[in-house]
Structure 1
Amino acid sequence: MSRNFRPYLPGVLSYIAEEISLDLAVRLAEAKGGREVYISNKAGSSLAELLGAEDALRLYKLLGGGKLVVPAGNFGGQAGRRQRIAMLLGQGKSHSVVAAEVDVTLRTVERVAASLRRRNDDQGDFFI
């Protein structure tokens, strides 16, 4: 992982990063972001093959067994970045702060903001 990369790890990924390791959370998000995984304590599970038996067991001990929908974070490509930008803009953050936090250009933030405004305008007409 490069020193300049700042992953956005929502929800359970943030919890995994704090309790186990940032590396494990990032590997899980990169491999399974936006999809469902089954957490098991079995050495031959698909999660153990993906993360390694030791890390899969650590995850099992932290979260227990069962299905887990892994958030995409900013590993979800364009859709993941767009969602993160929309969320931060909704929190009232400036375009430059959002661009720095999501690691995109200011122009990208401006395009997403304009798109969100157009979508909100279009939805307003639907209910008239």
Structure 2
Amino acid sequence: MIKQQKKQYKAVIAGKTYIISGEASLPHFKSTEELLNKQFKQIAVIAPKLSKFDQAILLTFNSISDQLYKQAEIDELNEKIAQMQAEIKMLQSQKERLKPKKSAVSSIIATARQESRTRSSNKIFKETNK
């Protein structure tokens, strides 16, 4: 796996400038900054008397809470995928078992046909050589 080069991004968060360093794309940095500022403003409206630090703590708490919900959702989806893959394997093995196998009877018939063709060919060959 090729490691991406680290980039620096100048973000203004809650009125203060930060230099963010990471491997994300510029649109990712920009989207993160915009979402962070939007949520900061929402907290400021809901709890205007809190200090910026306390607002940041609430924002962090909310972000981690959302992350936990998303991880639980991912885990649940991964579990469903594993169940579906197991069902697919089971259905494939059932399908393999149900495939018609060449029976002894069909094998005997095929051999008899071949022998009949050979006898006919030999009979024709003998008649033309007389």
TM-score normalised per structure 2: 0.28
More RCO (CA 8 Å, sep 6+): 1
Q: Which has the larger radius of gyration?
A: 2
Larger strand share, 1 or 2: 2
